Structure formats: structure tokens, C-alpha cells
């Protein structure tokens, strides 16, 4: 039995004149993401996107799983394809829906006939197929008002499509339609969630990670790669830049007053990230900051770091509680990796009493004690590039 996937678009349908751009990008993303599974035909007609594996040995479960992670899709169904003959449609429906009907107690059939040459009207198709299913599965009753399952039979030009279960899509808008931004990624819980949330709004990601060997280990970096691979299931592929940050952190430790250590380090992160972002045509930075979570995330501290760069900084978690963030991180499967205990550069040389209400003037005076430009150049010349697929 040949199975395909039928996709229902999300917010894209509200896009008016821009709709075509969004649809085209979604189709491009679908094709690109399915590429590793096997060749699939992706067809868009009358705002219904159909994905059909070209070969029988392509695993449709894998295709469905991949589709469920693509932004811009509100819902989708697996459907079986039948020849356009009413007897054949009945038999195929019963065969295809057997497992599903084991789990339900009532159903109804809806028919859509876009091929007007088909010799039965929509109500006639619904009646024929409904009657046959009721006879085949006597323990499942017809309920037109509140059924457990709605079986849909679509008669299209090329074939008949039968589907029942509607599965939830990833929502959002297609990645790439919202421009490009750089996510400052740590090994923590928050930043992978922030990356996911902005990708959901159509942003294509580039990742920047600061590492301070030997204070941070190779394993800590591998952890970040692992997190980004999970995010990439939703966002699609991205490039990760690892910035060697040790010298700058040691300079701050040696030259600046301890209570300003974190804030200056964070300002340097923003400045370096902005430069990497610009080299990669990114128009914004993204962080996983949440107001009040730690000393560097007070309104005063954020004001001091925000001003270190000229780009908009998106902080999608700013108003969220840790519990809410953890719920998303479990959903996107990053939580288990995030809680592995590896050090982050933010946790080396942390002051005992960081300034929670830093005064910008004083921060800048401390920062000026460091001749940071040559160190920035050196760090940027020694970026490590990792492709995340």
C-alpha cells in the first residue's frame, strides 16, 4: 500500500501577497530536510502540500518524524493512495485504517471530490465508504456529531487519498523567511531553547560558542555540538563558531576589579559575537537570558551588555520562568544533554559578589584597563568552525 504525507500549512495562510514566498521556502526546506532520508516528491497544489516517497523502501515513519520538526506546518496526516474506483477505495480504506479502528469507538467519513469527473458525488462517496467501514468494523459505530475519528476521502486528479489521524506539526513559520541571527550558545538549559524559539519564528541560525581551554574541556564543547544537533532537527543545518576565549578571560581576571568580571566578560561576548554575526550576514544576536535569573541578568546588567553592540539582541526567554523553559527543553529533547555537568566559560573565575546594579561609567572605566582589540583579532583569527547537520 502506498503511503504519502499531506501537509496543512500554519500561519503562512495569513500572509496574503507574501504567501507564495513563504510556501516556496517551506517546500525548499522540506526537500532539503528529507534529502538524507531518501528521494521524495513534494507537490504543492491548491495549498495542499503532498510528500510522496519515490521508492517503496523509504521509511515513511522517518519521513513523518522529519516533517513533524519542520516549522511552518500546523498539522499533517499520513494518507494512503488508492486507484480511483469506488470498490477499490472501500477495500483500501478498510485495510489502511485497520489499526486505527482498533483504537476508536466511533467515526464518520467526509469526502472531497476535486476531480468532478469521478462518477460519485461527495455525499455518495461518504455514504459508500462509511457503510463499508461500518460493516467491516461492527464494533465501531458511525457518529456524525462527535466521532473519535474523521476519515477523509479525497478524490484528486491523480488518485484517491484516504486519511484519518491528524498529527500536530511544529507550528511557526518556515526557517529562512525571518532572516538570519547568531545564537550565543552555552551548554546550559536556556540557550538551546532560545535558539529553537527564534528558529520557530523563521530565523536561520548561526551559532557562536565561547570556550576557555584548559578551564573548559573538549567534552564541554562536544556537549554544545550535541545540543545544536538537537536544535537543528527543527532549525535545519547551521554553522557553529567556537571562539577561543581564554586569553581575554585571563586578562579580565588579572586587570579588572573582581565584581565587574562577569559583566565585562559578557560585553566582550556580545562584541565578538556581533563581529562574527556580521561576517555571516546575521542581522541580530540571540541569547538565552531570562530576567532576574542570575546576577548578570538583572535589568541593570542587561542594559550594560546590550549597549556593547549595535545589533538588536533577541532574548525570547526574558519573561519566562525556569520551569517553563525546562518544559520546552524537554519537548525539544535538549534537557538531558543540558544537565550533563560540564563547565562553561561563564562559570570560570566567577566573582563571589558580582555587581547586580552595575554603573555603566564604572564598567567602561574597568574595561579600558584591557587592550582588547589585538586579543579580539587573535580570537577571531582562530575561530573553530563546525558544521551542524
Residues in contact with Mg ion by CB under 5 A are 186, 188, 344
**19-34 vs 60-67: helix axis angle to the nearest 10?**
140
User: Choosing among Mg ion, ligand ATP, none, which partner's interface includes residue 195 (Cβ < 5 to 8 Å by kind)?
Assistant: none
Residue 305 within binding range of ligand ATP, rule CB under 6 A? no
In the complex, which residue's CB is closest to ligand ATP? 188
Nearest distance from C-beta of residue 59 to Mg ion, angstroms: 37
Q: Which stretch binds ligand ATP (CB under 6 A): 62-70, 146-154, 188-196, 355-363?
A: 188-196
Q: Which stretch binds ligand ATP (CB under 6 A): 78-86, 111-119, 161-169, 183-191?
A: 183-191
Beta bridge partners of 206: 182
Nearest distance from C-beta of residue 154 to ligand ATP, angstroms: 45
Phi-psi category of 231—alpha, beta or left, where left has phi over 0 and alpha has psi -120 to 50?
alpha
Nearest distance from C-beta of residue 346 to Mg ion, angstroms: 5
Is residue 326 a contact partner of residue 293, using CB atoms and an 8 Å limit? no
Cell of 165: 489521524
Q: Collapsing DSSP states into helix, strand and coil, what is residue 387?
A: strand
User: Choosing among ligand ATP, Mg ion, none, which partner's interface includes residue 335 (Cβ < 5 to 8 Å by kind)?
Assistant: none
Start-to-end CA distance of the chain, whole Å, equals 32
Residue 293 within binding range of ligand ATP, rule CB under 6 A? yes
Among 51, 52, 175, 189, binds ligand ATP (CB under 6 A): 189
Residue 210 within binding range of ligand ATP, rule CB under 6 A? yes
Residue 190 within binding range of ligand ATP, rule CB under 6 A? yes
Picking from 253, 128, 245, 235, the residue whose alpha carbon sits closest to that of residue 181 is: 235
Nearest distance from C-beta of residue 50 to ligand ATP, angstroms: 39
Cell of 17: 501577497
Among 78, 108, 209, 267, binds ligand ATP (CB under 6 A): 209
Nearer to Mg ion, 163 or 223 (CB): 223
Nearer to ligand ATP, 79 or 182 (CB): 182
In the complex, which residue's CB is closest to Mg ion? 188
**DSSP state letter for 56:** T
Pairing of strands 180-184, 204-211: parallel
Picking from 273, 262, 255, the residue whose alpha carbon sits closest to that of residue 358 is: 262
Picking from 270, 323, 321, the residue whose alpha carbon sits closest to that of residue 293 is: 321
Nearest distance from C-beta of residue 188 to Mg ion, angstroms: 3
Please state, in angstroms and rounded to a whole number, the distance separating the CA atoms of residues 229 and 204: 14
**DSSP state letter for 332:** T
Q: Which string of DSSP letters, residue by residue, matches 291-309?
A: TTSSGGGSHHHHHHHHTT-
Nearer to ligand ATP, 188 or 202 (CB): 188
Please state, in angstroms and rounded to a whole number, the distance separating the CA atoms of residues 92 and 85: 10
**Number of shown-chain residues binding ligand ATP (CB under 6 A):** 20
Cell of 267: 560585553
Contacts of 307 (CB under 8 A, 6+ apart): 360
Nearer to Mg ion, 347 or 368 (CB): 347
User: Choosing among Mg ion, ligand ATP, none, which partner's interface includes residue 294 (Cβ < 5 to 8 Å by kind)?
Assistant: ligand ATP
Q: Which stretch binds ligand ATP (CB under 6 A): 125-133, 226-234, 253-261, 292-300?
A: 292-300
User: Choosing among ligand ATP, Mg ion, none, which partner's interface includes residue 284 (Cβ < 5 to 8 Å by kind)?
Assistant: none
Q: CA 342, 373, 380, 234: dihedral to nearest 10 degrees? A: 60
321-360 binders of ligand ATP (CB under 6 A)? 344-346
| Footprint of ligand ATP (CB under 6 A) | 184-186, 188-191, 208-210, 269, 287-289, 293-294, 296, 344-346
Amino acid at each position: 500500500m502506498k503511503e504519502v504525507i499531506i501537509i496543512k500549512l500554519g500561519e503562512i495562510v495569513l500572509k496574503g501577497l507574501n504567501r507564495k514566498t513563504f510556501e516556496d521556502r517551506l517546500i525548499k526546506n522540506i526537500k532539503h530536510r528529507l534529502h538524507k532520508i531518501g528521494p521524495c516528491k513534494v507537490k504543492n497544489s491548491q495549498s495542499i502540500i503532498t510528500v510522496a516517497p519515490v521508492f517503496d523502501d523509504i521509511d515513511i515513519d522517518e519521513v513523518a518524524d522529519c516533517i513533524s520538526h519542520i516549522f511552518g506546518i500546523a498539522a499533517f496526516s499520513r494518507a494512503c493512495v488508492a486507484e480511483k474506483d469506488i470498490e477499490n477505495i472501500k477495500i483500501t480504506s478498510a485495510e489502511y485504517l485497520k489499526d486505527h479502528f482498533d483504537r476508536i469507538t466511533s467515526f464518520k467519513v467526509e469526502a472531497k471530490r476535486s476531480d468532478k469527473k469521478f462518477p460519485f458525488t461527495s455525499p455518495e462517496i461518504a455514504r459508500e465508504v462509511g457503510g463499508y467501514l461500518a460493516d467491516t468494523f461492527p464494533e465501531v459505530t458511525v457518529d456524525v456529531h462527535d466521532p473519535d475519528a474523521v476519515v477523509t476521502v479525497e478524490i484528486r486528479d491523480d488518485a484517491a487519498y484516504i486519511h484519518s489521524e491528524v498529527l500536530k506539526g511544529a507550528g511557526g513559520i518556515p526557517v529562512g523567511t525571518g532572516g538570519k541571527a547568531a545564537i550565543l550558545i552555552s551548554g546550559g538549559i536556556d540557550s538551546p531553547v532560545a535558539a529553537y524559539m527564534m528558529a520557530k519564528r523563521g530565523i536561520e541560525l548561526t551559532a557562536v560558542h565561547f570556550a576557555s581551554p584548559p578551564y573548559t574541556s573538549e567534552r564541554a564543547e562536544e556537549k554544545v555540538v550535541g545540543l545544536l544537533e538537537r536544535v537543528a532537527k527543527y532549525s535545519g543545518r547551521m554553522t557553529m563558531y567556537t571562539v577561543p576565549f581564554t586569553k581575554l578571560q585571563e586578562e579580565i581576571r588579572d586587570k579588572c576589579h573582581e565584581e565587574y568580571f562577569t559583566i565585562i566578560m559578557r560585553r566582550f561576548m556580545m562584541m565578538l559575537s556581533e563581529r562574527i554575526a556580521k561576517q555571516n550576514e546575521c542581522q541580530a544576536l540571540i541569547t538565552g537570558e531570562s530576567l532576574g535569573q542570575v546576577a548578570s541578568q538583572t535589568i541593570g546588567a542587561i542594559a550594560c551588555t546590550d549597549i556593547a553592540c549595535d545589533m538588536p539582541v533577541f532574548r525570547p526567554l526574558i519573561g519566562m520562568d525556569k520551569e517553563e523553559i525546562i518544559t520546552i527543553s524537554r519537548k525539544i529533547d535538549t534537557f538531558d544533554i543540558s544537565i550533563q555537568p560540564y563547565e562553561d566559560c561563564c562559570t570560570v573565575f566567577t566573582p563571589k559578589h558580582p555587581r547586580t546594579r552595575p554603573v555603566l561609567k564604572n564598567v567602561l572605566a574597568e574595561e579600558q584597563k584591557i587592550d582588547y582589540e589585538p586579543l579580539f583579532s587573535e580570537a577571531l583569527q582562530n575561530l573553530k568552525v563546525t558544521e551542524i547537520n
